[in-house]
Amino acid sequence: GSPSPPTAPPAAAAATGTAPGTATGAAEAAETGAYPGGNTRDHILTVCGNGVGTSLFLKNTVEQVLDRWGWGPFLTVEATDTISAKGKAGEADVMMTSGSIADTLGDPGIPVWVINDFTDETEIDAALRQIYDL
């Protein structure tokens, strides 16, 4: 079995002073973007060469994991291409992509997480837990 899902984004709960696991704190933080350090972590980019193929598979899998956690309403996952990703980096908190695309992106100014299997919920669950420090 996989680890139990978190009940509310911890940064959201901490930002509002609401106990972890309460939807109210997470919802309020999501609406106001009130996360510690000004890091909203509410936008994830999934990136592939053209933004229409493998990035959509990855987007779908990320959303499935977030929905299983109950975090779906609080985070936006956007599939995009490598060229657009560089321009959108300022609006996002993290990019998830393949190793070859990560090499192409270089340093976009936000973390780039390499995912080996875009349909593997276990791998993506583990990556999201690292990204969100769970």
Compute CA distances 41 → 52, 75, 77, 103, whole Å.
23, 8, 11, 23
Q: Are 127 and 115 in contact (CB under 8 A)?
A: yes
Concatenating the DSSP letter of every residue in 40-79 gives ---EEEEEESSSSSHHHHHHHHHHHHHHHHT-GGG-EEEE
pLDDT digits (tens, 9 = 90+) for 5-37: 665 555 444 443 333 443 444 444 444 443 334
CATH topology of domain 38-131: Rossmann fold (3.40.50)
pTM, two decimals, is: 0.71
pLDDT digits (tens, 9 = 90+) for 63-122: 999 999 999 998 999 999 999 999 999 889 899 999 999 999 989 999 999 999 999 999
User: Domain residue spans in the chain?
Assistant: 38-131
